[in-house]
Chains A and B, each alone.
Chain A
Amino acid sequence: MASTLHAQPAQPPGGRGRGAITSPRNAYPDRAPADPAAIERGKALYGVNCQFCHGADTRGGDGGPSLLRSSTVLDDQNGELIAPIVRSGRPGMPKFTLGDDQIKDVAAFVHSFRAAGYDEARLRPPSIIVGDSKAGEAFFNARCASCHSTTGDLRGLASRIPDERLLQQTWLMPGSGGSRGGPPPVTLPPIMVTVTLPSGEMVAGKLDRLDDFTVSLITADGTHRSFRTNGNTPRVDVRDPLQPHRDLLGVYTDADIHNVTAFLVTLK
């Protein structure tokens, strides 16, 4: 639903969307971590009494609902809201005879799960590498090799970018991603612009901004220059070295992408 509108910051590898964990705009208070010994005791009690219906990870199962998104559990602090339900039961749920301290321990275990989405700490997804590296090599030779070389600029690429998703993101669009909010793993080749003034003077540099009214750029010595534009005066020529990457976004099949990634991960 709600969202950012422009280039999105890189999300952590676990990827919870909406930046729910990392966003500076987010102010959901965290629970204080519980005593690890209490969590361990609670895990044992949970495994015996609760897991059959609510699942090992509290997400629920065939017999009982998810505890992670239960209002009672979310509002509970130390078992005080959970205790009456455990002791009295509910339609479809039996009573359990547990002491106050035992319920506190179970609560500590249940609260140790992150409520929202995928909890990377407890579940690692399988590798994203599913493609055919031979087919990927053939695609690479046909579509990429005019600019790139596996023994030149891409030598050791997979060692430089060990995160498979980041590798796939980076070859699709260099400079588009960074891990855990860090900088992208490769330097983005800049969009270049040349402005030809009515006098014939030419000013070239890295594009800063081109709109309907102004063009601005940074020359080789680091100077920022800007020029008002009026129609085709001065003349503005833009060269985007990533244009082939942009053009290919509408061309790739997902199989092409997976094959190329399967090939590139071999470039250790």
Chain B
Amino acid sequence: MLDPALLMKPPVDAWPTYHGDYSGRRYSTLKQINAGNVKNLTLAWVYRLNTSRSGAMLGGEGPETPPAVGPPSIKSTPLLLNGMLYFSAPDHVWAVDARTGREIWHFAWKTRGGDHIGNRGVGIYGNWLYFLTPDNYFVSLDLATGKERWHHEIANMKREYFSTNAPIIIGRHVIIGVGGDALDIPGYLESRDPENGDLVWRWNTTPRPGEPEAATWPNEYAMSNGGGMPWLPGTYDPELNLYYLGTGNPNPVLTGRSREGDNLYTCSIVALNPDTGKMAWYFQATPHDTHDWDAAQTPVLIDGVYDGRPRKLLAQANRNGHFILLDRTNGQHLVTTRMIDSLNWTKAINAKGQPVRNPEKDANVPGTLVSPDTSGATNWPPPSFSPDTGLFYVATRQSFSVMYLTDTDERPQGWAAAERNVGNVGSALKAIDYRTGKVRWSHPLATGPAGSVGGAMGLLSTAGGLLFGNDGGGNFVAYEPATGRPLWHAGLGANTSNGPQTYLLDGRQYIVVGAGDTLFAFALQQ
């Protein structure tokens, strides 16, 4: 049973929501494991994903034989409640003992299909667990047994929607969003009732006719098929009662033809009232995006000092290569800086703090060389902010792609262009001063046979003076947050694939992280 009070101030023996708390800082006050003793950090247990349907609790309306979708990877951050970890991969949810790594139950969803790119995790309300499936079902399970309570279809798979989001629970609202941009389809965020799964409100990621922002589209048809998928969980300020999330890219994806204008509210950071779904403000990070740079990356809530006075701030390391700082009470823009040197798609940063795109860097028939590539300077893995150092941590790539317009129709569709990757000139872990947006330190990631490897990664900072992440080369690393110097590492055979987390049980602090199909727990040698 999850006491809703836990969500307001999570204790150290629970991780009740995707980011651990609502702020998205991914900072823990725990310091049993610290810079002085981290060299004694050792393996406590491992859990390798069990995806067999035999012995699993089953649900879903698909065929008995699972589709050939490749091995799942752990992208979800497990929730911790009463000594149990709850986490997911596409079509699967597991409950694992947080002290031992032993599986308690496994739920397998018989899928009808859909894109199985990933699942970000589960949500918990009371005695119930919630998750989304690639074939667009909103499913609720009994937390104790993994038995299904009910499921609701939230989007049409035939329009190539797929759902990856981790549900976020605020009061009696289970907030979920849809994904997919292979076809030109509308994006929306929903609140669902935790008891019966019924729709409470829906917020559309593009305006309706008659709203002033509708003028940022050429016509209703483009606007109503314009994408903007809210495919990642957001953050929440209980005092302001505002839910913050980043929206996805517009459709068609890699060309702006047929959707002239800024295309609100795609590629935007928006603040919504979670009780009503009404928008309080928005800031568009990429007006008229033509490179798949959604703004879905975590909007991190920082209570800091700016211009000499305490401010409620919101920081985002955006896929388009920029660091952005806003006042989260009203969306006022404060800082925009470039995070990577290779970035070549802008002309300037305008007075509103928005990067101004250079139209010559839009996909064209002979090809245009663009950095970053469509994966972006960074991506969905959660960054971290430490109030101890005042630094925002994020990992970046400096990749280049040639973008070719392939759909030369006046009404291009879907992606409409092809991307050919031509190299990465350097991935790095970076620490950014949130007040200025300046990079305080940058630590290069590993080098493989074809050059720099790694990039966006989940991060965790702690009061123990540690920053946990990977090195791009398959090592899980504890870095010194002030300098980026590695203090401890362990080779996991694959790069970490989710956001690391930490908790204290029976007086013992654990660090838990997923790498591909395996969840690892570390603790101090006893």
Contacts and interface: CB of A to CB of B under 8 A. Distances in A.
Chain A partners chain B: yes
Interface of A: 1-8, 10-11, 13-18, 20, 23-29, 57, 59-60, 65-66, 68-69, 71, 74-75, 115-118, 120, 123, 125-126, 128-131, 165-166, 168-169, 172-173, 175-177, 188, 190-191, 206-213, 238, 240, 242, 245-246, 249-250, 252, 254, 257-258, 261
B181 interface: yes
Contact of B419 (A7, A17, A26, A115): A17
Which of B294, B344, B381, B421 counts the most chain A CB atoms within 10 A?
B421
Q: Which 5 A-B pairs have the closest CB atoms?
A: A15-B418, A117-B414, A17-B415, A27-B67, A211-B446
B418 A116 contact: no
Nearest to B293: A1
A128 B421 contact: no
Contacts of A28: 113-115, 157, 160
Contacts of A249: 342, 369, 371, 400, 422-423, 425
Given A118-B414, A191-B447, A242-B451, A211 B475 contact: yes
Contact of B254 (A17, A20, A261): A17
Contact of B182 (A18, A172, A250): A18
Interface residues on B, range: 35 or more
A126 B292 contact: no
A74 B159 contact: yes
A215 to B, nearest CB: 9
Contact of A26 (B69, B231, B366, B375): B69
13 contacts: A1-B292, A1-B296, A2-B179, A3-B375, A25-B117, A59-B411, A66-B413, A123-B408, A128-B366, A172-B422, A173-B423, A211-B471, A257-B367
A17 B225 contact: no
A246 B35 CA distance: 37
Given A66-B184, A117-B415, 4 more contacts: A71-B159, A209-B474, A245-B423, A258-B366
Contacts of B407: 117-118, 123
Secondary structure of the A contact surface, majority rule: loop
A165 B184 contact: no
A118 B417 CA distance: 8
B182 A117 contact: yes
A66 B342 CA distance: 39
B369 A252 contact: yes
Contact of A16 (B182, B296, B380): B182
Contact of A250 (B158, B249, B418, B425): B425
Which of A11, A131, A172, A240 counts the most chain B CB atoms within 10 A?
A172
A131 B366 CA distance: 9
Contacts of B422: 169, 172-173, 176-177, 249
A27 B292 contact: no
Interface stretch (B325-333, B453-461, B505-513): B453-461
B418 A13 contact: yes
B184 A238 contact: no
A254 B221 contact: no
A206 B450 contact: no
Contacts of B292: 1, 3, 17
B424 to A, nearest CB: 8
B367 A59 contact: no
B404 interface: yes
B182 A116 contact: yes
Nearest to A65: B221
Contact of A123 (B116, B253, B409): B409
Interface string B447-481: 11111011110000000000000011111010000
A251 B423 CA distance: 14
Contacts of B156: 71, 74-75
A191 B409 CA distance: 43
A59 B420 CA distance: 26
A20 to B, nearest CB: 4
A2 B341 CA distance: 24
A210 B447 contact: yes
Contacts of B248: 1
A74 B367 CA distance: 32
A18 B160 CA distance: 12
A129 B423 contact: no
Contact of B231 (A2, A29, A258): A2
A186 to B, nearest CB: 13
A15 B406 contact: yes
Nearest to B115: A26
Nearest to B225: A69
